Amino acid sequence: MNGRGTLYVVATPLGNLADLSQRAKDILCSADLVAAEDTRRSRTLLSHVGARAPMVSVYAHASPAHAERVLRALAEGQSVALLTDAGTPGISDPGPDLVRAAREAGAAVVPLPGPSAVVTALSISGLPADRYTFAGFLPRSGAARREMLAHIAASQWTVVVFEAANRTAKLLDDLAAVLGDGRRAAVARELTKVHEECRTGTLSELAGYYRASPPRGEVTIVVAGAPARPERSDPEALRRRAHALLGQGVSRRDVAGQLAGEFGIPRNEAYRLVTDTRET
């Protein structure tokens, strides 16, 4: 491999095709090959700009042969445009693997910035965005999900997560149970599309709304950061917080994890306090 080709990481519209930059149009029309997360969805975009480059799928479970085709093209000095289904490649999609392989092969990697669901949702959430954490899609169940919920509960930064429409109400319920009913949040869906919506409120309010009115389309949830930690030396504050969480139906295990994160105490110490706290 001589690695003289260029991999262009091209941000594409979330929904409104008018958001595609002129530079992105030019690259798509001149590329020798397009590597797409979903060729069916990307074909619509290529047709819109009049691009006719051949395409190859690079979705998460694609055969290694697909990535090899991209690397061969780069080795031959060709230009390759990397696309995700919508937004910026490399954010909760298989893009990083291909970018890393291209760099290791000596190819140039050039970003074409543009739409991102994370930044777009933050911009209309009304929540602080000077510092934030992106958590992607949370595990669906088990210890891994509980651990992520505890991390979100403890974060003093705004947290952004993605979720499938049919699981949105369940995630909001879980967040409310662990973070508290009153934590502020925003649910943004179908960004830049005809049915765009951004609803704000407490986690409890949003969970209730989306249980009654199940959402459709792409969903991004923005959650406010935790309030500043109380002094660790205040055992009464710990007991009050534990009592409140237990009263909301949060399990003792999850309450201990949340106290450890919020108050900066060892988890075993938090668990001992929880076991000594009555729920009523």
CATH number at residue 194: 3.30.950.10
Whether residue 192 lies inside any domain: the answer is yes
pLDDT digits (tens, 9 = 90+) for 4-57: 899 999 999 999 999 999 999 999 999 999 999 999 989 999 999 999 999 999
Whether residue 78 lies inside any domain: the answer is yes
Report the CATH number that the domain containing residue 79 is assigned in CATH. Answer: 3.40.1010.10
Does the structure show a pLDDT above 90 at 225?
Answer: yes
Residue 174 confidence (pLDDT): 94
Based on the fold, state whether residues 79 and 14 are members of the same structural domain: yes
Whether residue 24 lies inside any domain: the answer is yes
Based on the fold, state whether residues 107 and 132 are members of the same structural domain: no
Based on the fold, state whether residues 76 and 164 are members of the same structural domain: no
Whether residue 228 lies inside any domain: the answer is no
Residue 182 confidence (pLDDT): 87
* Residue 229's pLDDT band (cuts 50, 70, 90): low
Residue 246 confidence (pLDDT): 87
Residue 249 confidence (pLDDT): 82
Domain of 241, in residue numbers: 235-275
Share of the chain above pLDDT 90, in %: 67
Tell which of 80, 115, 150 closes a domain: 115
Residue 3 confidence (pLDDT): 53
Based on the fold, state whether residues 140 and 219 are members of the same structural domain: yes
Q: What ranges in the chain are assigned the alpha helix state H?
A: 22-30, 39-49, 64-75, 95-104, 117-125, 142-154, 168-179, 203-212, 235-247, 252-263, 267-275
Tell which of 115, 131, 157 closes a domain: 115
Based on the fold, state whether residues 125 and 173 are members of the same structural domain: yes
pLDDT-wise least confident of 19-33, 143-157, 185-199, 252-266: 252-266
User: Rounded to whole angstroms, what are the CA distances from 115 to 42, 84, 192, 201?
Assistant: 15, 11, 10, 25
* Residue 278's pLDDT band (cuts 50, 70, 90): low
Based on the fold, state whether residues 16 and 95 are members of the same structural domain: yes
Whether residue 61 lies inside any domain: the answer is yes
Whether residue 230 lies inside any domain: the answer is no
Based on the fold, state whether residues 23 and 41 are members of the same structural domain: yes
* Residue 1's pLDDT band (cuts 50, 70, 90): very low
Based on the fold, state whether residues 187 and 126 are members of the same structural domain: yes
Based on the fold, state whether residues 154 and 242 are members of the same structural domain: no
Strand (E) or helix (H) holding 201:
strand 197-202
Based on the fold, state whether residues 174 and 249 are members of the same structural domain: no
Q: What is the pTM of this model?
A: 0.80
Based on the fold, state whether residues 86 and 122 are members of the same structural domain: no
Tally of domains within the chain: 3
Tell which of 115, 146, 170 closes a domain: 115
Does the structure show a pLDDT above 70 at 236?
Answer: yes
pLDDT digits (tens, 9 = 90+) for 107-159: 999 999 999 999 999 999 999 999 999 999 999 999 999 999 989 988 999 99
